[in-house]
Amino acid sequence: MDEDYLDIYGWYGILHQILVVSIFVLIGSVECAKSDGSACVLDHGYGASSSLLNLSKVEGDWGGFLNKNSCAGPFEEYLYALAWHTSQTGDIFLNSDEQSDCLTTINGPGTDDVGCGIEKLTKGGGGCSDFSVKDVNNRLGDDFRSMKEKCELEDQGKNQDQSCGSCLRSWEGIKGTYFGNDEPTESESYMCKFAVLVSLISTKIDDEIWIHKTFGCLMDQNQTPMKEVSPDSGAPVPKEKRKISKRTRIIFGIALGILMVVIIPIYLFSRGCCKPNTRKKDDALRFALPKDSGHLKFSIKEVYSATNNLHTTNFIGEGIAGKVYKGILRNNQHVAIKQITDEGYTETFFRELKSLSKVRHPNLVALLGYCRHKDECFLLYELCPNGNLSEWIFGKDKRLSWVHRLKIAINCARGLCFLHNYPKGCIVHRDIKPTNILLGANFEAKLSDFGLSKVIDIGESYKSSEVRGTFGYVDPEYQNTRRVDPSGDVYSFGVVLLQIISGRKVINMNMNTPMPLHKMAKSLTRNDSIRGFADPALEGDYSEQAFSLTFKLALSCTTRKKERPSMDKVTIKLEEALDISITASSSTPLTTPDSYSSPT
């Protein structure tokens, strides 16, 4: 199972929604592209400056071709778009369907564009209506070259009126081609005139000043020729300031939609690493607690009522994830309530729920319920009135007899054995230490704090992204390989067992060179001085045979991974040591922990 499954589960719902929304945005962009792009094959405005796109006030009938003078502006925009299309495709005129679509998109406020006569420039209309640029060069080559020469209007040495007149005469001289024995009709001649003009413009599509002057000459010779457009006049504007076309906007919209699909999840992931998300917690919580788990959800009111508003008199301990309070529920049940206050450890809340939601054993602390209110998380456990093992091993006023120490060790071993052989997956605790071993009313030991636990398949291992655990209790081989398996718990238990029989800290800081407890114990075997390792608080009241067996068992747990016993074998050996101890002391009444001190 994945260690971060709960976090991934929480993000799944968020990312699913983001992806769906982003896909709809993307589809919308594509649909816009389809609707806008298919409405007209001509791209009105692509690359053109304002001088060619704001011609609504221009008037002229192009020698009678247009039905209205007011149609001149929209018509010139149409011609420019048609020439641009020709420069890309080699075709000149549009078919009837394409023409119908495009005439509805021509810019001409207040103008009935369809009634201007532009529709006459349609394929299938006779004359040169089916010509391509290649056909113009082959069959109207002389007219094309003449118009190209006569309409060189950018020559500043010529009189503008004279130059414009030459251009107009060249235009009027285009009669078209004879089809059969019939002379071209007027409409057929116009088709050929515009075929030549559009072909010529397509070769000069980037020369907007020339196009602007040519349109001015040809739209109506009776009007005053259009003034020359200089770069300083503000029109046409430079290419880099040209209007963004509709197609460009569509492409930009599609690109933006794709970026939303990619960037938004990354952004939320980066924020989610630093800030808890309520929805994520709810989703993970629903996953962590199966419906048949039997756990209760407590309200924040019940939590505060049980602990007298988390009063300091009910404070019983604190860990890296938060504080622990004792409390009394309405049914008079005594509980321990863990408050997870550090946002960085919220994952432990879900991990403990997952690990203990259906797991029940006499040597595991029982999880009774939970409470989540806004950013506050609480876990409610059975209360173990005698505190934790660390208090009894290292406390100055608390002592445990040898037999009770063995019983506590056996309880811990049984709890671990149950976890490692759990039918639905081996549960590795990963943080076995005296403070995580709680003592019940009869000093029965219960493993607690499953915030670092990991569930894996029995017989398998898992490579962790980082080393988890408490310094001094972490398996050195796990530190090197980061492979999580039950042997790591066996090592930690071995260190705890050495502490139980010696009353020593995990690292001896009183020596010139600090030494881990298991190494110090191993060095004693070479000098045959095991007795010196026993806790002085025992005052020699223990079976040497049982002590030696327990001592060697602890060392076997901290040896190389392949040589460590399973928790099943550890349990059997400890029970053997207990039997030896009970037999050896059968003639002497056992001293209970209560006779040494009163539990607080």
- Sort residue 344 into left (φ over 0), alpha (ψ -120 to 50) or beta: alpha
Burial of 551 (0-12, 13-18, 19+ CB in 10 A): buried
Q: 449, 447, 452, 451: which is closest to 462 by C-alpha?
A: 452
DSSP alpha helices (H): ranges in 90-128? 96-103
CB–CB of 144/199 below 8 Å? yes
Integer Cα distance of 501 and 495 in angstroms: 10
Which residue type, as a one-letter code, is found at position 236? P
Q: Angle between the 208-219 and 72-89 helix axes, to the nearest 10 degrees?
A: 130
Integer Cα distance of 558 and 537 in angstroms: 24
Which residue type, as a one-letter code, is found at position 411? N
Reduced to 3 states (helix: H, G, I; strand: E, B; else coil), residue 412 is helix
Integer Cα distance of 581 and 550 in angstroms: 11
Burial of 11 (0-12, 13-18, 19+ CB in 10 A): buried
DSSP, res 104? T
Mention every residue, 6+ apart, whose C-beta is less than 8 A from residue 330.
Answer: 302, 305
Mention every residue, 6+ apart, whose C-beta is less than 8 A from residue 504.
Answer: 498, 517, 520, 535
CB–CB of 86/133 below 8 Å? yes
Catalytic residue among 7, 220, 431, 475: 431
Tokens 């806008």, residue? 36
Integer Cα distance of 545 and 408 in angstroms: 19
Reduced to 3 states (helix: H, G, I; strand: E, B; else coil), residue 352 is helix
Mention every residue, 6+ apart, whose C-beta is less than 8 A from residue 179.
Answer: 126, 127, 188
Angle at 485 between CA 482 and CA 488, to 5 degrees: 80
Q: 390, 514, 401: which is closest to 448 by C-alpha?
A: 390
Report residue 230 CA to chain centroid gap.
54
Which residue type, as a one-letter code, is found at position 147? M
C-beta pairs of 578-584 under 8 Å, 24+ apart in sequence:
578/403, 578/406, 578/407, 578/410, 578/546, 580/543, 580/545, 580/546, 580/549, 581/402, 581/403, 581/406, 581/542, 581/543, 581/546, 582/403, 584/543, 584/545, 584/546
**Known catalytic membership, residue 489:** no
Q: Annotated active-site positions, please? A: 431
